[in-house]
Amino acid sequence: MVIVYLGTGDPKLIDSIKKVGMEFHVVGDQELSKTMAELIQHPTTSKGNQPPFLYLYKEDASLLAKAFQQEHIFIDRVAENTEENIQWSLRDLMDEVDLAYEIDTLRTELYIMVQNIDTKRFQTDDDYQHLMRHAIALVEDPHASLEQLDDMVRACQKA
Protein backbone atom coordinates (compact mmCIF):
# COMPACT_ATOMS: atom_id res chain seq x y z
CA MET A 1 0.00 0.00 0.00
CA VAL A 2 1.24 3.46 -0.91
CA ILE A 3 -0.39 6.59 0.49
CA VAL A 4 0.04 9.26 -2.18
CA TYR A 5 -0.31 12.94 -1.45
CA LEU A 6 -0.16 14.07 -5.08
CA GLY A 7 -0.60 17.77 -4.37
CA THR A 8 1.24 19.78 -6.99
CA GLY A 9 2.98 16.69 -8.39
CA ASP A 10 2.84 15.18 -11.84
CA PRO A 11 -0.08 12.76 -12.34
CA LYS A 12 2.42 10.43 -14.09
CA LEU A 13 3.44 9.51 -10.55
CA ILE A 14 0.16 7.60 -10.17
CA ASP A 15 0.70 5.86 -13.52
CA SER A 16 4.15 4.67 -12.36
CA ILE A 17 2.68 3.21 -9.17
CA LYS A 18 0.03 1.43 -11.23
CA LYS A 19 2.66 0.02 -13.60
CA VAL A 20 4.49 -1.73 -10.76
CA GLY A 21 1.19 -3.13 -9.50
CA MET A 22 1.16 -1.50 -6.08
CA GLU A 23 -2.07 -0.71 -4.29
CA PHE A 24 -2.39 2.99 -3.45
CA HIS A 25 -4.68 5.65 -2.02
CA VAL A 26 -4.52 9.29 -3.07
CA VAL A 27 -5.02 11.79 -0.25
CA GLY A 28 -4.96 15.56 0.04
CA ASP A 29 -5.24 18.52 2.39
CA GLN A 30 -8.48 17.37 4.06
CA GLU A 31 -6.63 14.30 5.35
CA LEU A 32 -3.64 16.15 6.87
CA SER A 33 -4.87 15.62 10.44
CA LYS A 34 -5.53 11.88 10.01
CA THR A 35 -2.98 9.30 11.11
CA MET A 36 -1.25 7.10 8.60
CA ALA A 37 -3.04 4.08 10.10
CA GLU A 38 -6.40 5.78 9.51
CA LEU A 39 -5.49 6.59 5.92
CA ILE A 40 -4.50 3.00 5.24
CA GLN A 41 -7.72 1.62 6.73
CA HIS A 42 -10.19 4.32 5.63
CA PRO A 43 -8.91 6.27 2.66
CA THR A 44 -10.61 9.40 1.44
CA THR A 45 -9.63 11.65 -1.41
CA SER A 46 -9.15 15.38 -1.59
CA LYS A 47 -6.89 17.79 -3.45
CA GLY A 48 -3.61 19.08 -2.08
CA ASN A 49 -1.51 22.14 -2.79
CA GLN A 50 1.89 21.06 -1.49
CA PRO A 51 4.66 19.12 -3.21
CA PRO A 52 4.01 15.37 -3.53
CA PHE A 53 4.61 13.00 -0.64
CA LEU A 54 4.62 9.20 -0.51
CA TYR A 55 4.15 6.88 2.44
CA LEU A 56 5.22 3.32 1.75
CA TYR A 57 3.39 0.78 3.87
CA LYS A 58 5.09 -2.59 3.38
CA GLU A 59 6.11 -1.77 -0.18
CA ASP A 60 9.48 -2.12 -1.89
CA ALA A 61 10.96 1.37 -2.14
CA SER A 62 13.62 0.28 -4.64
CA LEU A 63 10.99 -1.08 -7.05
CA LEU A 64 9.13 2.21 -6.96
CA ALA A 65 12.35 4.21 -7.28
CA LYS A 66 13.23 2.33 -10.49
CA ALA A 67 9.79 3.01 -11.94
CA PHE A 68 10.07 6.71 -11.12
CA GLN A 69 13.58 6.88 -12.56
CA GLN A 70 12.37 5.41 -15.85
CA GLU A 71 9.66 8.07 -16.04
CA HIS A 72 12.00 10.89 -14.89
CA ILE A 73 9.89 11.50 -11.81
CA PHE A 74 11.72 12.87 -8.78
CA ILE A 75 10.10 12.76 -5.34
CA ASP A 76 11.94 14.36 -2.42
CA ARG A 77 9.32 13.59 0.19
CA VAL A 78 9.04 9.87 0.96
CA ALA A 79 8.61 8.00 4.23
CA GLU A 80 8.57 4.29 4.88
CA ASN A 81 6.28 2.73 7.46
CA THR A 82 7.65 2.31 10.97
CA GLU A 83 5.95 1.22 14.19
CA GLU A 84 6.24 4.82 15.37
CA ASN A 85 5.23 6.87 12.34
CA ILE A 86 2.10 4.89 11.51
CA GLN A 87 0.45 6.73 14.41
CA TRP A 88 1.57 10.17 13.21
CA SER A 89 -0.72 12.48 11.34
CA LEU A 90 -0.04 13.01 7.67
CA ARG A 91 0.83 16.66 8.44
CA ASP A 92 3.32 15.74 11.18
CA LEU A 93 4.98 13.10 9.04
CA MET A 94 5.26 15.45 6.07
CA ASP A 95 6.74 18.13 8.36
CA GLU A 96 9.25 15.64 9.79
CA VAL A 97 10.32 14.52 6.32
CA ASP A 98 10.67 18.16 5.23
CA LEU A 99 12.82 18.94 8.27
CA ALA A 100 15.05 15.91 7.66
CA TYR A 101 15.44 16.95 4.01
CA GLU A 102 16.41 20.50 5.00
CA ILE A 103 18.92 19.19 7.54
CA ASP A 104 20.44 16.79 4.99
CA THR A 105 20.68 19.59 2.43
CA LEU A 106 22.47 21.91 4.87
CA ARG A 107 24.74 19.10 6.10
CA THR A 108 25.71 18.34 2.49
CA GLU A 109 26.35 22.02 1.79
CA LEU A 110 28.52 22.29 4.90
CA TYR A 111 30.34 19.06 4.00
CA ILE A 112 31.24 20.51 0.61
CA MET A 113 32.52 23.65 2.32
CA VAL A 114 34.78 21.75 4.71
CA GLN A 115 36.05 19.59 1.87
CA ASN A 116 37.23 22.79 0.19
CA ILE A 117 39.04 24.34 3.15
CA ASP A 118 41.63 26.97 2.28
CA THR A 119 44.56 24.99 3.66
CA LYS A 120 46.96 27.93 3.67
CA ARG A 121 44.48 30.08 5.59
CA PHE A 122 43.67 27.15 7.90
CA GLN A 123 47.36 27.01 8.90
CA THR A 124 47.73 30.75 9.50
CA ASP A 125 44.34 32.07 10.69
CA ASP A 126 43.29 30.87 14.15
CA ASP A 127 39.71 32.16 13.78
CA TYR A 128 39.29 30.39 10.43
CA GLN A 129 40.81 27.23 11.88
CA HIS A 130 38.39 27.32 14.83
CA LEU A 131 35.42 27.91 12.49
CA MET A 132 36.38 25.02 10.21
CA ARG A 133 36.94 22.64 13.13
CA HIS A 134 33.49 23.53 14.45
CA ALA A 135 32.01 23.05 10.96
CA ILE A 136 33.60 19.60 10.68
CA ALA A 137 32.21 18.65 14.10
CA LEU A 138 28.70 19.70 13.02
CA VAL A 139 28.91 17.72 9.79
CA GLU A 140 29.76 14.64 11.85
CA ASP A 141 27.13 15.29 14.56
CA PRO A 142 23.99 13.26 13.77
CA HIS A 143 22.04 15.38 16.28
CA ALA A 144 22.96 18.78 14.83
CA SER A 145 19.86 20.93 14.52
CA LEU A 146 18.62 22.79 11.49
CA GLU A 147 19.46 26.08 13.21
CA GLN A 148 23.00 25.00 14.08
CA LEU A 149 23.70 23.84 10.54
CA ASP A 150 22.13 26.93 8.99
CA ASP A 151 24.14 29.25 11.27
CA MET A 152 27.35 27.41 10.44
CA VAL A 153 26.73 27.48 6.69
CA ARG A 154 26.16 31.25 6.92
CA ALA A 155 29.30 31.73 9.03
CA CYS A 156 31.40 29.71 6.56
CA GLN A 157 29.99 31.68 3.64
CA LYS A 158 31.06 34.92 5.33
CA ALA A 159 34.53 33.62 6.24
Q: Give the tens place of pLDDT for each residue, 55-110.
A: 999 888 888 889 899 989 988 899 999 999 999 999 999 999 999 999 999 999 99
Domain residue limits, the chain: 2-88, 101-158
d(CA 68, CA 96): 23
Q: In this structure, which amino acid lies at residue 69?
A: Q
pTM of the model: 0.83
Three-class SS state of 87: helix
Per residue in 2-14, pLDDT tens?
999 999 888 889 9
Per residue in 110-149, pLDDT tens?
999 999 999 999 999 999 999 999 999 999 999 999 999 9
Task: Report the DSSP beta bridge partners of residue 26.
Answer: 4
Specify whether the CB–CB gap between 35 and 88 falls below 8 A: yes
Per residue in 61-70, pLDDT tens?
888 889 899 9
